[in-house]
A and B are shown apart, each in its own frame.
Chain A
């Protein structure tokens, strides 16, 4: 059982960098009055989107509703998410990692992979030393802590960064993988969820090591390709490559928005959907894509989802066409005795918008005209802000703030306009908050 899975040390050296409680940590790092307190962000959504370690210790979990949090820890500080600052800090995190290596995959707002294979001489130190130096630089310059994992591939690196949190650095060379896997239950592996874990349990596979010790033929027989790749990575091979290029195309585009208080007003809920459609179409046009179909989704106050899917006769990214097509679906889904809390739209079957086959009944002249109209709309929005012009059907969603009452509180940075700044155009530097004596 103590046989190593591989005898290699670091055939490749992949780092996984993960910010600890990112949003809450950003808030604590720029306002000392929040230090040591249970801080929770996501006030505007009504559910926890990030919580500080103090809150975690009290049993607060992600996606918990705020009134439940209040019962658990009455002294919790609730903050509205300040995505502007979070993305600034996220970009800084990636920039610092790029000082060490150009091969960086921005995996999410607070996580990235970095390939430091072969960098020992250039950076004057072993892989472990490089990782240590990267962690110190991140901690010092950004003012909150990060957890790093070093391994021969992405899966092992991710196990490493999760191993000791917060502020940990775990290096797992190939010949030590089996020791870590033995202590890890199989559902903690990247890509294995509750369903797969339950399925594996039926085959008497409980720990990650038991999974890794199965022969490859067994994995291929009982599981699908992603799990084969996962299995190969657990053997110490590097098969999942780093995606170092920023996204230039999309499989699907989705826009969801919660509003409060929940509403049963048909016109208002439809206006919310219409606004989401306009935003999704705008994004599609920005990437020169057109959608072959769309899904309309409604969520009620008690978190029940309903949705229907529709295919278009011709790919389109014109908001008014999508709205017109989805209107009957919306009427079918909407029940006037339910209260709704969010709407959403997913555009799928995206194709490049310059090779669109017109159907027999499409008037080409009119389509050309709409293309010009939308180009003008997009230009206006780029110059004067996203919501400068919108369709009449979205009016009710623009006429009111997204959230009424306490949840509508804007993040503090939004109310601190410097001279010369506007609501949209602001200095790209994060700001220390709180009182200054």
Chain B
């Protein structure tokens, strides 16, 4: 029996009992005659990241344990690329959005960030946050309007700099209110 088939038996056991089988149980599941072979199988699966052990040595499922189709092990030579791809695909949304609850869209209208590659008509995804680091592109509130600029911190001095030489840097007179930080950019053609 190939490792894949043995693995599926363990998954089926988990689905039926909502827990991982013991070594004894794996032994009868996969019809091994010694626990040593079970130990070897377990180590193989741990190497592949499909299961793990807790401190006491009991087995635990990992995130790759669930619902990932496994095409079987590769015999020799090159790894099967399709199998690699299937391991843990994320959606485009997961890729672009880090914290779903605090992410907003903003339609870019001006050309002040054009040298940073942000063009009018682009959509930026921003994360609501009041603190930002030096160099991050932020959405700040200036005179009742949003402004999209790069945050520059030099010592105590904080300025908002455009990525377009036609725009002078903005030095906030009172306090600077950052509403969000840009985390991705979307442009559709």
Contact = CB atoms under 8 A, between A and B. Distances in A.
Contact of B145 (A143, A430, A437): A437
Interface string B99-139: 11111111111101000000000010110111000000001
B188 interface: yes
A30 interface: yes
Contacts of A35: 141, 144
Nearest to A419: B188
A148 B105 CA distance: 28
B146 A435 contact: yes
B101 A32 contact: no
Given A32-B141, A95-B101, A430-B105, A437 B146 contact: yes
Nearest to B139: A432
A434 B180 contact: no
Nearest to A89: B101
B122 to A, nearest CB: 11
Contacts of B145: 32-33, 434-437
B112 A437 contact: yes
A379 B16 CA distance: 35
A420 B146 contact: no
B107 A436 contact: yes
Interface in B127-163: 128-130, 139, 141-142, 144-148
Interface of B is mostly: strand
B45 interface: no
Interface residues of A, number: 24
Given A141-B128, A142-B128, A418-B123, A429 B110 contact: no
Contacts of A427: 105
B112 to A, nearest CB: 7
A92 B97 CA distance: 14
A237 to B, nearest CB: 34
Contacts of B108: 436
Interface in A13-38: 30, 32-33, 35
B110 A437 contact: yes
A96 B101 CA distance: 7
A432 to B, nearest CB: 4
A432 B105 contact: yes
Nearest to A30: B104
B179 interface: yes
Given A32-B141, A140-B130, A431 B101 contact: no
B188 A436 contact: no
A416 interface: yes
A428 to B, nearest CB: 9
A214 B168 CA distance: 71
A435 B120 CA distance: 12
Nearest to A420: B188
B105 A141 contact: no
A427 B109 CA distance: 19
13 contacts: A32-B145, A95-B100, A95-B101, A96-B101, A142-B102, A418-B188, A419-B188, A420-B188, A429-B97, A429-B103, A430-B105, A435-B145, A436-B108
Interface of B: 97, 99-110, 112, 123, 125-126, 128-130, 139, 141-142, 144-148, 179-180, 188
